[in-house]
């Protein structure tokens, strides 16, 4: 992982700045997480309270973390937002508006009129593997081809795949019992599973020496499972009448956490599967949800942080061979595919012609974040979207439970491609005056301070505000024009980045995305650094809006989200502030053209890295010396990176490719 401790815990070694008194109050608090919380985030576990009432999901208290660049992921309520997004996705899937979008997009995508009168009926592909069997289409290499599918005029752009996931070989579950203390790897309860098999246990979280009547450091229950070659380790806490909020984590024998789950089961129950490359003994940990949910040391049963949920639970754990079905489809560079899963299928994954995983999802449907003009499907158990980098046979992998499934795959060309000669404009507005913050869930029309009001907080003269505006515009222009063109993935990138100050006539015009770079949390009523209106794979909405707020970015030195934390007397302040703010703007634009958040804690710095503690290297471009505005600063780019684990997608997101095809002019 990239070095991040110094960025998250303080400013040791940095020279204090003489910052003028703020004219707009800076937000309070530190944007830090504990090492155990960071480990939990890396595993995809939320570390924020799980309020579920509608009042909690407001822009002021909890903006949608998929759209927002949050200073602190301890404020990101993914649990509640996922439930809301699934409900909204179901409504969207049944809407007349989506049907109209498909009529237009299918017509344009096949080379016909954009005024096509009806949505083409998806053709049906029945799985060739006999129901109840496995083995004939269970890998990328032997994926079952669907040659009729495609976006070219001679092919059909929509298919329903009807298939069946076979039940694993039967075995009678072994009932086991537990005795405290079983809270660490060396003292784990043996499930008796040797290579393959299944076991069940009913137990309690909160008892034992570290539970509520002990030292209160959290009661963890570990179970040892021997997983055989070619087997998959599965675990779930379904089947109990208890409402205990459980988490599941699989550890290797050396204590490395490998995979985790919080809420993939019913309600707050958990379910996971893990197919290890190497057979051997693995350890399933059952814990209660907490803001700091993991043990600091899985070999020490008393190393928890306390505060976990307690109660009864039922665990089913198994080592078994699971059925997975693969289907191959031919794609062209820039093809945008959307897929949904119904029935027994809960997981979907797209793999490139070489077999590399690009996007996967289990129980995640963020299709409600698409703009109203997007034709991409949604509303299933799982929904994914993908923009193809190369020509060839890709595979769609189907996983889940046992029984029949219904998969939809639809293919489109990028939303800008049918409008020949059209150029999309990204318009940066540094002095909007009044902004309708309801666009992002805020309280409505609010007055916001201009960018120039914040410039002195970075130790830069306000008279240099216009210079900064121009340099920020140039940074965004480089990110969205020059570097996308240089990437070579799309031969015809067609976008302009302009300043609204010198182009006011473009405000509100068709094909103009407006990005506000102004205001504060207090003024806007939105608790974030930046937030986009939509996430739009394929770019089917051309008048999206986003806002970048400036009070967090210009706060006094200390928090990792403040630019002042990384400047001293050696800093070229104008250069650093221009680069950092320009990157934040490009990040928000990146959402509006289809990119999701990427992992902010791995070794890859990406323009789409999520917020939370690691801003210095992942978005601001601070170099190895820890000081912004010096010669070793990095040029942050759109690149290929892992999806943010806590947002529910897996695999690698090629944000350069997604961005390049969003602005296709052919």
**Residue at which a domain ends, from 358, 390, 412:** 412
Assign residue 272 a region: left if phi > 0, alpha if psi is -120 to 50, beta otherwise?
beta
| 166 part of a folded domain | no
| 104 part of a folded domain | no
As beta bridge partners, residue 395 has 328, 351
Tokens at residue 122, please? Answer: 């998806």
Q: What confidence score (pLDDT) does residue 488 get?
A: 83
- Write the CATH number for 243: 2.60.120.380
Same domain, 484 and 604: yes
Q: How many CB atoms lie within 10 A of CB 147?
A: 11
SS3 105: helix
Q: What confidence score (pLDDT) does residue 109 get?
A: 41
Cα separation of the two ends of the chain: 40
User: 525: burial class by Cβ within 10 Å (0-12, 13-18, 19+)?
Assistant: buried
Q: What confidence score (pLDDT) does residue 120 get?
A: 61
Same domain, 516 and 657: yes
Same domain, 352 and 426: no
Distance CA 243, CA 427 (A): 49
Same domain, 338 and 303: no
CB 522 within 8 A of CB 551: yes
Tokens at residue 567, please? Answer: 């400047």
Same domain, 480 and 406: no
Same domain, 528 and 549: yes
Q: Which of 343, 344, 282 is nearest to 317 (CA)?
A: 282
Listing DSSP states for 573-623 in one string gives: HHHHHHHHHHHHHHHHHHHHTTPPPB-SSSS---TTB--SS-HIIIII---
Q: What confidence score (pLDDT) does residue 310 get?
A: 96
Same domain, 236 and 357: no
CB 573 within 8 A of CB 633: no
| 342 part of a folded domain | yes
Same domain, 444 and 582: yes
Task: Give the domain extent around 242.
Answer: 174-320
| 336 part of a folded domain | yes
Query: What pLDDT, in 10s, does the model give residues 586-602?
Result: 999 999 999 999 999 88
Q: What confidence score (pLDDT) does residue 110 get?
A: 39
Tell the residue number behind the tokens 């009001």, with chain if given. Answer: 453
| 169 part of a folded domain | no
| 108 part of a folded domain | no
Distance CA 372, CA 116 (A): 19
Q: Strand 512-517 and strand 545-548: pairing?
A: parallel
| 41 part of a folded domain | no
CA distances from 17 to 27, 191, 577 (A): 18, 58, 15
Tokens at residue 197, please? Answer: 């098999």
Same domain, 509 and 625: yes
Same domain, 615 and 633: yes
Q: What confidence score (pLDDT) does residue 252 get?
A: 98
Q: What confidence score (pLDDT) does residue 27 get?
A: 43
Number of domains in the chain: 3
Q: Which of 269, 219, 183, 257 is nearest to 35 (CA)?
A: 257
| 165 part of a folded domain | no
CB 316 within 8 A of CB 127: no
**Residue at which a domain ends, from 291, 320, 349:** 320
Assign residue 474 a region: left if phi > 0, alpha if psi is -120 to 50, beta otherwise?
alpha
- Write the CATH number for 390: 2.60.120
Same domain, 261 and 372: no
Same domain, 364 and 435: no
DSSP label at 151? S
**Residue at which a domain ends, from 266, 298, 320:** 320
Q: Output the 3-class SS for 609-635.
A: ECCCCCHHHHHHCCCCCCCCCCCCCCC
**Parts of the chain with a pLDDT under 70:** 1-31, 54-55, 97, 103-120, 418-421, 666
**H helix or E strand, kind and range, residue 5:** helix 5-9
């Amino acid at each position: 992982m990239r070095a991040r401790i110094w960025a998250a815990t303080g400013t040791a070694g940095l020279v204090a700045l003489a910052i003028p008194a703020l004219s707009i109050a800076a937000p309070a608090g530190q944007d830090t997480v504990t090492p155990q919380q960071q480990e939990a985030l890396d595993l995809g576990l939320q570390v924020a309270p799980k309020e579920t009432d509608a009042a909690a999901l407001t822009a002021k208290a909890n903006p949608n973390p998929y759209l927002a660049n949050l200073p602190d992921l301890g404020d990101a309520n993914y649990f509640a937002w996922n439930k809301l997004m699934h409900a909204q996705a179901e409504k969207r899937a049944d809407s007349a508006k989506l049907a109209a979008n498909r009529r237009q997009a299918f017509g344009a995508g096949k080379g016909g009129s954009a005024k096509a009168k009806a949505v083409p009926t998806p053709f049906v592909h029945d799985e060739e593997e006999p129901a109840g069997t496995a083995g004939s289409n269970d890998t990328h290499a032997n994926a079952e081809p669907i040659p009729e599918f495609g976006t070219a005029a001679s092919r059909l752009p929509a298919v329903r795949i009807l298939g069946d996931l076979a039940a694993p070989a039967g075995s009678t579950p072994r009932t086991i019992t537990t005795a405290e203390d079983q809270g660490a790897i060396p003292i784990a309860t043996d499930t008796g599973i040797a290579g393959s098999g299944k076991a069940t246990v009913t137990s309690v979280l909160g008892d034992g020496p570290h539970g509520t009547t002990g030292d209160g450091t959290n009661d963890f229950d570990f179970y040892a499972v021997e997983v055989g070659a070619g087997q998959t380790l599965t675990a779930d806490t379904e089947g109990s009448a208890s409402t205990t909020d459980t988490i599941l984590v699989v550890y290797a024998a050396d204590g490395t956490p490998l995979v985790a789950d919080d809420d993939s089961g019913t309600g707050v129950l958990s379910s996971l599967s893990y197919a290890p490359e190497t057979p051997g003994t693995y350890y399933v940990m059952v814990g209660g949800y907490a803001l700091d949910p993991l043990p600091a040391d899985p070999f020490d049963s008393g190393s928890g942080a306390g505060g976990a949920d307690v109660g009864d639970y039922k665990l089913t754990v198994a080592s078994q061979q699971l059925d997975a079905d693969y289907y191959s489809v031919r794609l062209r560079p820039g093809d945008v595919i959307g897929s949904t899963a119904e029935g027994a299928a809960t997981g979907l994954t797209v793999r490139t012609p070489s077999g590399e995983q690009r996007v996967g999802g289990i129980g995640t449907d963020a299709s409600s974040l698409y703009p109203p003009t997007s034709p991409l499907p949604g509303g299933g158990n799982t929904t994914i979207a993908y923009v193809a980098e190369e020509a060839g046979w890709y595979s769609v992998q189907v996983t889940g439970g046992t029984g029949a499934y219904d998969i939809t795959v639809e293919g489109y060309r990028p939303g800008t491609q049918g409008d020949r000669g059209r150029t999309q404009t990204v318009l940066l507005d540094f002095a909007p005056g009044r902004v309708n913050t309801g666009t992002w869930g805020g309280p409505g029309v609010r007055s916001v301070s201009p960018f120039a009001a914040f410039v002195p907080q970075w130790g830069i003269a306000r008279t240099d505000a216009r210079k900064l505006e121009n340099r920020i515009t140039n940074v965004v222009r480089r990110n969205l024009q020059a570097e996308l063109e240089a990437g070579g993935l799309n031969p015809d990138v067609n976008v302009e980045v302009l300043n609204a100050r010198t182009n006011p006539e473009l405000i509100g015009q068709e094909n103009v995305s407006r990005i506000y770079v102004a205001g504060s949390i207090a003024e806007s009523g939105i608790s974030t650094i930046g937030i986009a209106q939509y996430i739009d794979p394929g770019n089917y909405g051309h008048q999206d809006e986003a806002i970048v707020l400036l009070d967090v970015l210009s706060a006094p030195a200390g928090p990792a989200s403040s630019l002042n934390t990384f400047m001293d007397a050696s800093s070229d302040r104008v250069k650093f502030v221009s680069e950092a703010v320009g990157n934040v703007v490009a990040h928000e634009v990146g959402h509006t053209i289809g990119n999701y958040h990427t992992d902010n804690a791995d070794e890859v710095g990406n323009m789409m890295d999520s917020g939370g503690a690691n801003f210095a290297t992942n978005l601001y471009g601070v170099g190895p010396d820890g000081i912004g505005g010096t010669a070793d600063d990095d040029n942050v780019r759109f690149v290929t990176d892992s999806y943010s684990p806590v947002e529910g997608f897996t695999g690698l997101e090629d944000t350069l490719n997604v961005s390049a095809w969003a602005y296709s002019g052919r």
